[in-house]
Amino acid sequence: MAWNKLTYTGWGRARVASGLVARPERLSTLTRDLTETHAPAFGMRRSYGDVALNHNGRAYDMTRLDRVIAFDPATGVVEVEAGMPIGDLGRAFANKGWIPPVMPGTGFATVGGCIANDVHGKNHHVMGSFGQHVTAITLIQGAKTRKITPKSAPDLWKATVGGLGQTGVIASAKIQLMPCKGDMMVLTERRIDGLDDFLVAFDESRTDYTVGWIDATATGARLGRGILEEGEITSGINKSRDAAKSVPFNAPSWALSAPVVRVFNELYFRRVPAKGRTSVKPITEPFFPLDAIHNWNRLYGKRGFHQFQCVVPMDQVEMLRAMLTRIGTSGLASPLAVLKKMGAGRGGYMSFPMEGYTLAVDFPNRDGAEDLISELTDMAHDAGGRIYFAKDGVASAAQIAGMYPDQETWAKAVAKADPERAFETDLVRRLGLRDGTGAA
């Protein structure tokens, strides 16, 4: 297999790596080459920071390994190669009555990435995390290929699901799809005037898919205001034929200046009528609202951006309020900010979800952004919460100490699976995850 010297980034483009990258065409090629060259793998690199990067090392690009291997229409179990984008999997089977039970915020995330980060979706409070619906994984650990299930190798399984690719290269997986009515969604949107109202709305919602857009510039009485989206999958005729748009160049720095963001957020808040509205849309629109804009990360300019995402326990509303206040007064927030209530479902030792409220906010990579994110990370830690590694490019090992109570158990399983640390990535090294420095 050819190895090419590449410079590549995560989706946020604020963290960069250079190294040799190979892009296998077939699983047989990947298996053969991993026998000789042990290295981590990445997919579409839709994680925001450096979890998929391996600076000055080698890596396997899995994006050509995107085939359906088998499907059982009676049970809804599908086996796919790890490089298949989750959105393609959903589009391929939704009109046949099946859909992945968990869909992250972008359809470009690969199945392998969904497992390695144990992603969650807008229905986490109902269906849990992605890894909980995976039934088998083909894992290549150098010269050894293993097909594992939750029962055949429970320790290795929990170290792999949400395990950041540290137990080997995920080559393929079996997923239990969920029955669905079709490929359309009934979407209800309504304005929410403040944080307390949002939390009540989350408690009262009875829909499967629920998420809130937050005006991260709002302060005072308007703190936490936004738009609640509630959706249910339905049947219907998908008439959408709109071609995807693309951002052709890096936006200038003023495009996301504080005054511009405040005006945009005011207009976005008021785009929904005061009485609310209900519409029927193709499922891809509410599932992946930004995927129709290719290269939207260029809107943050050539320096890129960071995303901060945390989850804090249910009883830490005051800390959540303090975070929103700090963000709102910083002048650094972008229009992309999301609030959601999560359930307890998680698939592995290092899976992000926990019962509580998760807040995600994008910040342009400009002066003050990393200091703000570091401050927010400390606040999440003090609240007994945790940050999401798939989004992080800023935290230190000391800051995440104790956030993941199963980290030591995970590190031991990973050391057994990969004693030579061949699958380490930049984030894992930065946070000392395999060294035990992040343990309580």
pLDDT for 333? 95
Provide DSSP, 210-259. EEEEE-TT--GGGTT-EEEEEEEEE-------PPPEE--SPPPGGGG-HH
Q: Are strands 293-294 and 245-246 parallel, antiparallel or unpaired?
A: parallel
Q: How many CB atoms lie within 10 A of CB 366?
A: 16
Average pLDDT of each block of 10 consecutive residues along the chain (440 residues)? 95 98 97 96 97 98 98 97 97 94 97 98 97 98 96 98 98 98 95 97 97 98 98 81 78 92 97 96 94 95 97 98 98 97 97 98 97 98 98 98 98 97 98 73
pLDDT of residue 36: 94
Nearest partner of 303 among 369, 388, 372, 258, judged by Cα: 369
pLDDT value, residue 274: 95
Q: Choose among 180, 205, 168, 176: nearest CA to 190.
A: 205
Beta-carbon count within 10 A of 88 CB: 16
Q: What is the pLDDT of residue 95?
A: 85
Domains assigned to the chain? 184-237+245-387 (3.40.462.10)
Q: What helix, strand, coil percent values describe the chain, rounded to 5?
A: 30, 25, 45
Backbone angles phi, psi at 79, to 5 degrees: -115, 130
**Strand 293-294 to strand 337-342: parallel, antiparallel, or no bridges (unpaired)?**
unpaired
CA distance 275 to 340: 22
Given phi > 0 = left and psi -120 to 50 = alpha, else beta, which region is 142? left
User: Whose CA is closest to 107, among 284, 271, 322?
Assistant: 284
What is the value of pTM for the model shown?
0.96
The secondary structure of residue 97, as a DSSP letter, is: T
Give the pLDDT score at 436.
Answer: 67
